[in-house]
Amino acid sequence: MKQIYLDYSATTPVKREVVDTMLPYFTEIYGNASSIHGFGQEAKSVLEQSRKSIAETINATPDTFYFTGGGSEADNWALKGVMRANRKKGNHLITSKIEHHGILHTCTALEKEGFEVTYLDVDAEGMVSLEALEAAITDQTVLISIMFINNEIGTMQPVKAIGEIAHKHGVLFHTDAVQAYGNVKIDVNEMNIDLMSVSGHKIYGPKGIGGLYIKKGIRIQNIIEGGAQERNRRAGTENIPGIVGFAKAAVMADENLEAHREKLIYLRDKLANGIMDVIPYAKYNGHPTERHPGNVNICFEFIEGEALLLSLNAKGIAGSSGSACTSGSLDPSHVLLAIGLPHEIAHGSLRLSIGDFTTEEDVEYTIESLKEIVQKLRLMSPLYDKVLKEGK
Amino acid sequence: MKQIYLDYSATTPVKREVVDTMLPYFTEIYGNASSIHGFGQEAKSVLEQSRKSIAETINATPDTFYFTGGGSEADNWALKGVMRANRKKGNHLITSKIEHHGILHTCTALEKEGFEVTYLDVDAEGMVSLEALEAAITDQTVLISIMFINNEIGTMQPVKAIGEIAHKHGVLFHTDAVQAYGNVKIDVNEMNIDLMSVSGHKIYGPKGIGGLYIKKGIRIQNIIEGGAQERNRRAGTENIPGIVGFAKAAVMADENLEAHREKLIYLRDKLANGIMDVIPYAKYNGHPTERHPGNVNICFEFIEGEALLLSLNAKGIAGSSGSACTSGSLDPSHVLLAIGLPHEIAHGSLRLSIGDFTTEEDVEYTIESLKEIVQKLRLMSPLYDKVLKEGK
Amino acid sequence: MLYTEKVMDHFMNPRNVGEIENADGVGEVGNVKCGDIMRIYIKVEGDQIVDVKFKTFGCGSAIAASSVATELIMGKTIDEALALTNKQVIDELGGLPPVKVHCSVLAEQALKAAIYDYATKNALTFKGLEGYDPDEDHHDHDVVDIEF
Ligand SMILES: Cc1ncc(COP(=O)(O)O)c(C=O)c1O
Ligand SMILES: Cc1ncc(COP(=O)(O)O)c(C=O)c1O
Ligand code: FES
Ligand code: FES
């Protein structure tokens, strides 16, 4: 059966060119970058070259970019590291209700350590209010952490303006750019970003590698102590193949950014409009324009997301859902609740995320299949029953 | 020029079979293991299979083995996680002076958080004293962390006996087995181990992947919060290629353990004896028998380790040193000082670590080259001068 | 795979979907808020269930559990149907992941509700309904400690 992957926001395949770049570093140039012999120095040199390449894509200097084991580690490091290192300055952190769990659960942990956290509301389209943000700042506020692009509904925040407000009040600004990096152009200087988390596997690079941009001069504690790697800030033998692959993916994404965006936006709109045209009782979530170029998120009334995913999967289509039944918890996704969706509608959510290997046929096939599936599931649904009988 | 890698304790090349096992997971079976579609479920199934394979090699059940981003993260997690989660029980941790920095610097961080740490001395061969260990236990002691095999001098601790003492006093026992795993047979149950750190790149697997064994029922806090991966204990999209490669390397090491050990011990002894036979004023460090099968560590008087390494490198031989000049600090390795070597001797240390691809010819060539190099450097040394003139 | 082949079969090709006009008993359990509602219709002749249909809003295992439950009680006597447990539903499905056990509980409860409706309408009593409270909250996502 044909397999259609529409879950690029969950993870991406590693591009062939990226794997090819990585291969020699497994079996030939395998040295430990801390060793002074040739094997080690070759590794060291490619490590620093990779750091430089990635730094350039965000207009940063190489000495401000640190490799981590992924996006979650970067998020944990940014928040715990900055809050713990700046206790003297204050104990208050501002974030939003729609952050990734890498941020939200770190905030819970920080609250247990005695820090105070403000979780900002978002509007129906997933936007943080700049006024509410500014109003939340107190003289205890050390850090604002607002994600660049939301992973579920795709909404993109006004990052530059947020950074401006932060700096106006002498507060640091971190952004979780795991979904944004490689999909929108990021300039950490121009956008007033002090710390930024990124991850390899969302941009056609390998899993298990990510990074944290830390502007020079920022006080931050380590969360992984040990060897002197990453200029004494993040211990552990450097994952050279992962780093090389991440850098290759980052450079490829950067060089191809405009074409990539155009293609994705075209297919995304075709998919979203196609679905909305043929399926009634559906709601398109997220912001209409300020959104991830590949993100489509729609709620279908009267049916449940997991059932939808399984049916799609049976047709070879891979998507994702924020329904409670997929999360194993009682509540549907915190993001869908934060944009004000009632539980029963949030249950029927579907995220289809488009990427570089998506084709126009994939999109067409998906629209058709989805139409059939939603129809079939609705005919089984006691809720749809009522609509058919009583109208709505 | 012929390249002879004798730095297997720093890192190993990834075996061809391991890379081959990893490859499909970059480009074909690339799903996120948390996704419910086919791509995700395939990843999930290989993830759990890998966990099971590794757990079996240490006689543990799969649900006690957690993947991390490497050995350092595992060390940090074990110590910070256990100490922070068991504050009510006590605030005291016992370790040794020869631990890896992944442990020692974590201890420093814990001291800053208010915990108390006892750093046990070791004897001239690098052995912890069981009496001293037992005497150090107080009613505040929560955890003992003693490494299985030391990375510099190769000394292997009596892990089983240490665990016995710990348990006799109701104290938990963690061991950093990064150097031991794959080189000696480990049975966590029989050896009384409660937590154990391991790392992929020391056993011919990939870098950037490691693991922590956590016996069931142990209270431990997370250090990386976020998604529900690793049964809610370690967030971050699972590094499936890394995990698959680690598991493959672990199984290969386990199946071949006896032959591997025999070969290494044979070559190690040939190398060590060969060097000691032809080079005077040399001291063989570590324990004569209770040691890593591939570790040779020798101090050459009157010369300095970095100069030695560079000269060896010029002959294509890759080794490592605990000299101050390679570490960029004023002091030579804390391990060499802890076994009581005077600074001037510790400066001239050389670690040659043998592995699966080392040949008899490599060993012979190394002995000869080393003889020449030491001779040449000594002739340049003002210290050697005196010996020649005055005798010793 | 997340689910057994049996679950997938009942999910993809559910048996007895629909409704029964003038059913003798209708039971609905669950809660839209939690994302699962199950409605079961029964037709009774004598003491025998001669037809049964369901409609379900819920996840894959909720739909599969409804399907299997209706199949298991089709043609059975009321007393036999009342003896149906969620464990039988799970066994028939070849197992469910622990977090999905509550979906099978829902099927058992929806059936009981339908029979209760029939019993009330016809002023009948059944041993299997003793102590049954239709208003009790049957909906517990945390029912996971069931031995298989
Ligand atoms: C004894 C010991 N512990 C911990 C580590 C750290 O492991 P990793 O480099 O995988 O973080 C190493 C090696 O670097 C080691 O030799
Ligand atoms: C917005 C966001 N932040 C953080 C993460 C975590 O990244 P990683 O899986 O690399 O740890 C993800 C993806 O999982 C994400 O989408
Ligand atoms: S109906 Fe929600 S998990 Fe089954
Ligand atoms: S002599 Fe130069 S660093 Fe030691």
Residue range B31-53, pLDDT digits in tens:
999 999 999 999 999 999 999 99
- What confidence tens digit (pLDDT) does each residue in A290-305 have? 999 999 999 999 999 9
Q: Do strands B210-214 and B295-300 pair parallel, antiparallel, or not at all (unpaired)? A: unpaired
pLDDT band at B116 (very low <50, low <70, confident <90, very high): very high
Mean pLDDT of chain B: 96
pLDDT at A1: 81
Q: Which chain C positions have a beta carbon within 8 Å of A311's beta carbon?
A: 12
Pocket test of ligand 3: the residue of C56, C100, C101, C108 to mutate, having most ligand atoms within 8 Å of its CB, is C100
Residues 6+ apart with CB under 8 A from A114: A91
Lowest mean pLDDT among A324-338, B235-249, B268-282: A324-338
Token pair 């991390």 in the structure block, residue: B68
pLDDT at C132: 85
Tell me the shortest Cα–Cα distance from B162 to chain A, in angstroms: 24
As given in the structure block, the two tokens for residue B323 are: 């000299």
Check if B206 has its Cβ closer than 6 Å to any atom of ligand 1: no
- Number of B/C CB contacts below 8 angstroms equals 4
- What confidence tens digit (pLDDT) does each residue in A29-41 have? 999 999 999 999 9
* Ligand 3 centre distance from Cα of residue A127 (Å): 30
* Ligand 4 centre distance from Cα of residue B305 (Å): 10
**With contact defined as beta carbons under 8 Å apart, do A85 and A222 qualify?**
no
DSSP B200: G
In a domain, C32, yes or no: yes
C66-82: b (≥16 Cβ within 10 Å) or e: bbbbbbbbbebebeebb
DSSP B331: S
Tally the residues of chain A.
Answer: 392
Helix H or strand E segment including C38: strand C36-45
- What confidence tens digit (pLDDT) does each residue in B169-214 have? 999 999 999 999 999 999 999 999 999 999 999 999 999 999 999 9
Q: Which of A206, A212, A201, A211 is nearest to A241 (CA)?
A: A206
CA-CA distance, B75 to A205, in Å (whole number)?
A: 27
Q: What is the CATH number of the domain that holds C21?
A: 3.90.1010.10
In a domain, C140, yes or no: no
Instruction: Please list the residues that pair with B144 across neighbouring strands.
Output: B94, B173
- What confidence tens digit (pLDDT) does each residue in B129-169 have? 999 999 999 999 999 999 999 999 999 999 999 999 999 99
* Ligand 2 centre distance from Cα of residue A15 (Å): 19
Question: What is the per-residue DSSP string for B245-307?
Answer: HHHHHHHHHHHTHHHHHHHHHHHHHHHHHHHHHH-SSEEE-S-SSSB-TTEEEEEETTS-HHH
Q: How many domains does chain C have?
A: 1
| DSSP helix/strand/coil, B172 | strand
* Ligand 3 centre distance from Cα of residue B225 (Å): 26
**C34 among known catalytic residues:** yes
CA angle B287, B289, B290 (to 5 degrees): 70
Q: Is B72 annotated as a binding residue?
A: yes
**C59 among known catalytic residues:** no
In a domain, C42, yes or no: yes
Per-residue pLDDT at B222 exceeds 50: yes
| DSSP helix/strand/coil, B7 | strand
Helices (H) and strands (E) in chain B, counts: 16, 12
Q: Which chain C positions have a beta carbon within 8 Å of A310's beta carbon?
A: 2-3, 8, 11, 60
- Percent pLDDT > 90 in chain B is 94
Residues 6+ apart with CB under 8 A from B391: none
Number of C-beta neighbours around residue C123 at 10 A: 6
**With contact defined as beta carbons under 8 Å apart, do A188 and A174 qualify?**
no
In a domain, C104, yes or no: yes
pLDDT at B122: 98
Please answer yes or no on whether C33 and A303 come within 8 Å at the CB atom: no
Instruction: Decide: residue A257, CB within 10 A, 0-12 exposed, 13-18 middle, 19+ buried.
Output: middle
| pTM confidence score | 0.96
pLDDT at A328: 66
Instruction: Decide: residue B270, CB within 10 A, 0-12 exposed, 13-18 middle, 19+ buried.
Output: middle
Instruction: Please list the residues that pair with A387 across neighbouring strands.
Output: none
In a domain, C142, yes or no: no
Q: Is B200 annotated as a binding residue?
A: yes
- Percent pLDDT > 90 in chain C is 78
DSSP B128: B
- Ligand nearest to C-alpha A103: 2
pLDDT at A210: 98
Chain C residues with CB within 8 Å of chain B CB? 1-2
**With contact defined as beta carbons under 8 Å apart, do C11 and C1 qualify?**
no
| DSSP helix/strand/coil, B142 | strand
Q: Do strands A210-214 and B4-5 pair parallel, antiparallel, or not at all (unpaired)? A: unpaired
Q: Which chains touch A (3 or more CB pairs under 8 A)?
A: B, C
Instruction: Please list the residues that pair with B122 across neighbouring strands.
Output: B128
B256 CB-side CA count, 13 A:
14
Backbone angles phi, psi at A222, to 5 degrees: -80, 155
**With contact defined as beta carbons under 8 Å apart, do A60 and A213 qualify?**
yes
- Which long-range contacts link C5-9 to residues 24+ away (Cβ below 8 Å)? C5/C94, C6/C64, C6/C92, C6/C93, C6/C94, C7/C60, C7/C61, C7/C64, C7/C93, C7/C94, C7/C96, C8/A310, C8/A314, C8/C60, C8/C64, C9/C64
In a domain, C141, yes or no: no
Per-residue pLDDT at C121 exceeds 50: yes
Q: Do strands B195-199 and B210-214 pair parallel, antiparallel, or not at all (unpaired)? A: antiparallel
- Interface test with chain C among B34, B36, B49, by most C beta carbons within 10 Å: B36
Q: Which chain A positions have a beta carbon within 8 Å of B225's beta carbon?
A: 72, 76, 101-102, 105-106, 108-109
Q: Which chain B positions have a beta carbon within 8 Å of C2's beta carbon?
A: 36, 41
Kindly list the distances between the CA atom of residue B279 and the CA atoms of B5, B58, B146, B373, in Å, as whole numbers in the listed order.
Answer: 21, 40, 34, 10
Per-residue pLDDT at B328 exceeds 70: no
As given in the structure block, the two tokens for residue B187 are: 């049975």
CA-CA distance, C146 to C148, in Å (whole number)?
A: 6
Tell me the shortest Cα–Cα distance from C3 to chain A, in angstroms: 10
Helices (H) and strands (E) in chain C, counts: 5, 3
Instruction: Please list the residues that pair with C36 across neighbouring strands.
Output: C31
pLDDT band at C147 (very low <50, low <70, confident <90, very high): very low
Please answer yes or no on whether B36 and C1 come within 8 Å at the CB atom: no
- What confidence tens digit (pLDDT) does each residue in A155-178 have? 999 999 999 999 999 999 999 999
Tell me the shortest Cα–Cα distance from B41 to chain C, in angstroms: 6
DSSP B15: P
Tell me the shortest Cα–Cα distance from B35 to chain C, in angstroms: 10
Sign of CA dihedral B73, B75, B80, B85: positive
pLDDT band at C143 (very low <50, low <70, confident <90, very high): very low
pLDDT at B326: 75
CA A56 remoteness from chain centre: 20
B193-208: b (≥16 Cβ within 10 Å) or e: bbbbbbbbbbbbbbbb
Question: What is the per-residue DSSP string for C48-86?
Answer: EEEEEEEEEES-HHHHHHHHHHHHHHTT-BHHHHHT--H
**With contact defined as beta carbons under 8 Å apart, do A260 and A353 qualify?**
no
Pocket test of ligand 1: the residue of B72, B107, B174 to mutate, having most ligand atoms within 8 Å of its CB, is B72
Q: What is the arithmetic mean of pLDDT over B112-116? A: 97
Domain that holds residue C67: 5-125
Tally the residues of chain C.
Answer: 148
DSSP B14: P
Q: Do strands B317-318 and B4-5 pair parallel, antiparallel, or not at all (unpaired)? A: parallel
Active-site residue, from A130, A223, A224, A325: A325
In a domain, C110, yes or no: yes
In a domain, C80, yes or no: yes
**Domains located in chain B, CATH noted:** 4-12+256-390 (3.90.1150.10), 16-255 (3.40.640.10)
* Ligand 4 centre distance from Cα of residue A36 (Å): 14
Per-residue pLDDT at A321 exceeds 50: yes
Task: Give chain A as a 3 state SS string.
Answer: CCCEECECCCCCCCCHHHHHHHCHHHHCCCCCCCCCCHHHHHHHHHHHHHHHHHHHHCCCCHHHEEEECCHHHHHHHHHHHHHHHCCCCCCEEEEECCCCHHHHHHHHHHHHCCCEEEEECECCCCCECHHHHHHHCCCCEEEEECCCECCCCCEECCHHHHHHHHHHCCCEEEEECCCCECCECCCCCCCCCCEEEEEHHHCCCCCCCEEEEECCCCCCCCCCCCCCHHHHCCCCCCCHHHHHHHHHHHHHHHHCHHHHHHHHHHHHHHHHHHHHHHCCCEEECCCCCCECCCEEEEEECCCCHHHHHHHHHHCCEECECCCHHHHCCCCCCHHHHHCCCCHHHHCCEEEEECCCCCCHHHHHHHHHHHHHHHHHHHHHCHHHHHHHHHCC
B87 CB-side CA count, 13 A:
9
CA-CA distance, A5 to A211, in Å (whole number)?
A: 26
Which value does ipTM take for this structure?
0.94
